[in-house]
A and B are shown apart, each in its own frame.
Chain A
Amino acid sequence: SQTIHQWPATLVQPVGSPLSLECTVEGTSNPNLYWYRQAAGRGLQLLFYSVGIGQISSEVPQNLSASRPQDRQFILSSKKLLLSDSGFYLCAWSKPYGGPKSDEQYFGPGTRLTVT
């Protein structure tokens, strides 16, 4: 069965510090990978998605970036955090687009980031 891991689970960082969040998926190959952010009391906002190694699409302009150095690894980064970057960051995976149930996404446990 497939599992998705994220770390760290919680993070408190000062404004202006760098960020690196990691997500890995097990039990599947060539998944689509996604980064979402959920701000307090708000809905999920898609930040980035990737259909393969080195292929990143950005949904919203921001001071965040994403990378996919390996098939089942997805990293979210920032060079300098802003207060507005606080939130719950969720990684998700889906089967490659076009196959059965490729529209279903499965989420990792998330990282709760507080920028102080």
Chain B
Amino acid sequence: RKEVEQDPGPFNVPEGATVAFNCTYSNSASQSFFWYRQDCRKEPKLLMSVYSSGNEDGRFTAQLNRASQYISLLIRDSKLSDSATYLCVVFLLGNTGKLIFGQGTTLQVKP
């Protein structure tokens, strides 16, 4: 089983739609959680950090369920510019800590 699992998609949605991405992680020792956005042939960029049960930033809402080892990202009112791959990432506590990346979910927003 992969340490961080995501539905690879692609998710094809019209502009203005609401879309949700799910992610599960296998290590219960995971301490903190992130969503990164990666545009085609570019570096990943930190979108949101999720330190408690969840947080909201404009059109983006992230939720965490530690009991179920599940993280979600909700995007409301999708824009064409939201088209990208969204990476679910968990931080494992250790001597120096370590980020574990999911393989990403691809979103394509259509006009």
- Which residue numbers of A lie inside 8 Å of B, CB to CB? 32, 42-44, 46, 49, 51, 57, 88, 90, 97, 101-110, 112
Contact = CB atoms under 8 A, between A and B. Distances in A.
B53 interface: no
Interface of B: 31-32, 34, 41-46, 49, 87, 91, 96-99, 101-104
B104 A104 contact: no
B31 A103 contact: yes
A49 B94 CA distance: 13
B28 to A, nearest CB: 17
B43 A110 contact: yes
Contacts of B43: 90, 107-110
A44 B45 CA distance: 13
Contacts of A44: 44, 87, 101
